Amino acid sequence: SQQGEEDPQALSIQEGENATMNCSYKTSINNLQWYRQNSGRGLVHLILIRSNEREKHSGRLRVTLDTSKKSSSLLITASRAADTASYFCATDPQGAQKLVFGQGTRLTINP
């Protein structure tokens, strides 16, 4: 089964609103990453948060990590049409040499 699971699977909001996506995982991790994928393209790295960090910002992106709940959230503020994409979390489980991706959240920004 997947290490990381995103919630919701799909999200549709109006331009200018904030979008929040969540990621839950099962085992202890070293870090967690978020990626964006535009339709038909490869994944692009957005942000990495380490297990000893609780919050990280990058432009309009804010990521939080709660290791006690084994969950992370990605907040996109003041959304734009160009933010329409799928968003994936990826975890680096402790003791494993692998990076494991979740199933993704499909975000649609309506004009």
Q: Which is nearer to other proteins, 15 or 26 (CB)?
A: 26
**Residue from 43, 60, 61, 77 in contact with other proteins (CB under 8 A):** 43
**Between the CA atoms of 67, 71, 74 and 75, what dihedral angle is there, to the nearest 10 degrees?**
-90
Write the binding mask 72 to 91 for other proteins: x where contact by CB under 8 A, - elsewhere.
Answer: ----------------x-x-
Instruction: Give me the numbers of helices (H) and strands (E) for the chain, helices first please.
Output: 0, 11
Q: Which is nearer to other proteins, 18 or 28 (CB)?
A: 28
Task: Using alpha carbons only, give the angle 72, 8, 48 rounded to the nearest 5 degrees.
Answer: 30
Q: 2 — phi, psi (to 5°)?
A: -70, 140
Q: How many residues bind other proteins (CB under 8 A)?
A: 23
Q: What is the DSSP secondary structure assignment for residue 82, as one 8-state letter?
A: G
Q: Which residues bind other proteins (CB under 8 A)?
A: 2, 30-31, 33, 35, 40-45, 48, 88, 90, 92, 97-104
